[in-house]
Amino acid sequence: MLEEVELDGQAGQFAGGKHTFFLALRGEAAADDEHFQEGDIFAVTEGVDVEVGDLVVWWTGVVRTLALARVEEDLSFRGVGGFPAPTPNLSAKVRGVVVGRLRPLAPGAMAES
Amino acid sequence: MRHAESACSVLHVDLDAFFVSVERVLNPRLCGRPVVVGGAAATRGVVAAASYEARQYGIHSAMPMAQAMRLCPHLIRVPGQHKMYARASKAVFDLLGGYTPVLEKVSVDEAYLDLRGTEHLFGRAVDAAERMRREVKERLRLDLTVGVSRNRLVSKVASGFAKPHGLFDVRPGQEPRFFAPLPVKVLPGIGPVTQKKLRDFHIDDLGTLATTESWFLQEVFGRYGPIMKRRARGEDATPVCPAWGKPVRKSIGQERTFAEDTHDAVVLRGRLQAMLEETCARLRREGWLARTMSLKVRYADFTTETRDVRLPHPSDHDLEWWQAACALLEKALRRRTLIRLLGVRFSGLQRGFWQGGLFEEERIAQRSRLTVLDRMREKYGAQAVCAGDRLWLYKSP
């Protein structure tokens, strides 16, 4: 599940609310080429053209439910990290393109610091 | 276009609130409290480093200590132990050096690493970065922030994004999109003056800067304008340069003014050979290989000409440069004017030592002779062994 979050570090200061927003990955991600981890925060840019190879965030059609997909050569969407791909009868509406990923230090280690 | 993940290999690592973190390792009671390292307010001291808790009060480095104390009355000040910080820094970078030899330390708490070629050992750069952070935390109890991308510039901005103690990797090919919404001030090299100038033209973010016409930027900012535009798109070709690969010299050479102006080819070739021998011996002694040789000729009428030649491979061997040097001298002699000065200069220097190929027996034998000659000259002087046709150079008048 992807949950919109606000960052209070420099990332939030620089990009928050200005075409870039952040989505945190909740729950365990399926093991695949993307190597996502629970807690990963994706920086997503909206309002840009989607290109082949991009990792995109799209509306699943369910209220407030977003999913991640990789854009394939034929411009179809391949579900990644355990997220499903859009079904043929569902037109995927892209919310934005993932430009980067923030991985905070593991919670245990954070507590020590 | 699908972007290769493996291309993301440049890391920018930054130790969070480094001085304060070291103080906290030494004294854990400082954890979670507003702490600064710096000189006392009474002696007009300034803040050298502030903890994130102190920064919440608006305290930052270089701020006068008296002002910091006013902003946060219960601020804890520690005087600073720079020898200890240097030791901690060395420990961190020794540890990171275990991941790649291509590590460029830019300050006591900051470095760039290029992980190309280490995939078989440590996996993807982002995984290696994760492991580094964990190792630094577990072994040294310090927090490392890391930016990962395809180049130094983007990694530097990415690590700023990840602070405190995070890891941010910019997906390959997404550099312009990552940069586009960011304010121009995040781009290293854009200071307050440039910022103000850009603001005057309503260029507030990197996306706008990246789409501004080059000719316009050139007009306003000169040569730096188009460079700034490329950087605003996240383009940077600067390599990570470890200390051992940094040329501390740009060139090595020598020049001689003749006692009398001459056009005698034998004299000039003899002098050229001597200069080549001596300069190449110096290259070998100091461990440099040169890519370019320049021949400088000053004529009797004081006009000066410089001609360059490059070898296909960098070299420190005078015999390999000799033919090219002679060709340059021939060209200089065509002018039919007496020559007053001759100079040889090697540039494009890079650290390294000559290495013979498996099937280059002749070159290897030549190299052995050269090593022996170098030793003899070192022991008995440059004139101890020389080519027969320039013995006259060393004869006393």
Span B94-150, pLDDT tens digits: 999 999 999 998 888 999 999 998 988 998 999 999 999 999 999 999 999 999 999
Which residues of B are marked as active site? 110
Average pLDDT over residues B244-260: 80
Q: Which CATH class is domain B18-83?
A: alpha beta
For residue A7, what pLDDT is reported? 79
pLDDT at A106 over 80: no
CB contact under 8 A, B1 and A52: yes
Closest approach of B101 to chain A, Cα-based (Å): 25
Which segment of B215-219, B298-302, B367-371 scores lowest on mean pLDDT?
B367-371
Identify the pLDDT of residue B358.
58
Contacting residues of A for B170, CB less than 8 Å apart: 99-100
Over 70: is that where the pLDDT of B200 sits?
yes
Chain B: which residues have CB within 8 Å of chain A? 1-3, 31, 124, 126-127, 130, 133-134, 137, 141, 143, 158, 160-171, 173-174, 177-178, 180-183, 186, 205
B18-43 average pLDDT score: 90
Please tell me the distance from the alpha carbon of residue B278 to that of residue B275, in angstroms, as a whole number.
5
**Which residues, in sequence order, are CB contacts of B183 under 8 Å at separation 6+?**
A14, B204, B205, B206
Return the number of other C-beta atoms located less than 10 Å from residue B38's C-beta. 23
Band the pLDDT of A29: cuts 50, 70, 90: confident
CATH 1.20.1290.10 is right for the domain spanning B177-232: no
Mark yes or no for CB contact B143/A104 under 8 Å. Answer: no
Which chain A residues are within 8 Å of B130, Cβ to Cβ?
A: 103
Per residue in B162-176, pLDDT (tens digit) is: 887 789 999 898 999
Contact B167 A100 (CB under 8 A): no
A/B interface, count of CB pairs below 8 Å: 97
**Does 3.30.2130.10 match the CATH number of domain B5-16+84-169?**
no
Per the CB < 8 Å rule, is A100 touching B168?
Answer: yes
Residue carrying structure tokens 């000259």: B377
Q: So what's the pLDDT on residue A18?
A: 62
Quick one: average pLDDT of A55-65?
83
Shortest Cα–Cα distance, A30 to chain B (Å): 17
Q: Do A10 and B133 touch (CB under 8 A)?
A: no
Average pLDDT over residues B245-249: 65
Please name which of B327, B356, B125, B354 lies closest in space to residue B240, comparing C-alpha atoms: B125
pLDDT for the residue A112:
39
Domain A2-112, CATH = 2.10.109.10
The average confidence (pLDDT) of chain B is 87
Q: Which of A4-13, B178-187, B305-314 has the lowest mean pLDDT?
A: A4-13
B4 pLDDT higher than 50: no
pLDDT value of residue B333: 87
- Reported as a single tens digit per residue, the pLDDT across B63-80 is 889 899 999 999 999 998
Which of A16-30, B227-241, B352-366 is modeled with the greatest confidence?
Answer: B227-241
What is the pLDDT, as a whole number, of residue B213?
93
pLDDT reading at B292 higher than 90: yes
CB-CB neighbours of B218 under 10 Å = 16
| SS3 assignment, position A12 | helix
- The domain limits of chain B are 5-16+84-169, 18-83, 177-232, 247-394
Per-domain boundaries in chain A: 2-112
Contact (CB<8Å) B166/A97: no
Residue B224 has pLDDT above 60, yes or no: yes
Res B245: pLDDT: 63
Of B77, B65, B86, whose CA–CA distance to B15 is shortest?
B86
Q: Does domain B247-394 have CATH number 3.30.1490.100?
A: yes
Name every chain A residue with its beta carbon within 8 A of the beta carbon of B181. Answer: 14-15, 18-20, 45
Rounded Cα–Cα distance for residues B326 and B332 (Å): 10
**Which residue of chain B is at minimal alpha-carbon distance from A45?**
B177
The beta-carbon neighbor of B158 closest among A9, A100, A110 is A100
Average pLDDT over residues B5-31: 88
pLDDT of residue B360: 63
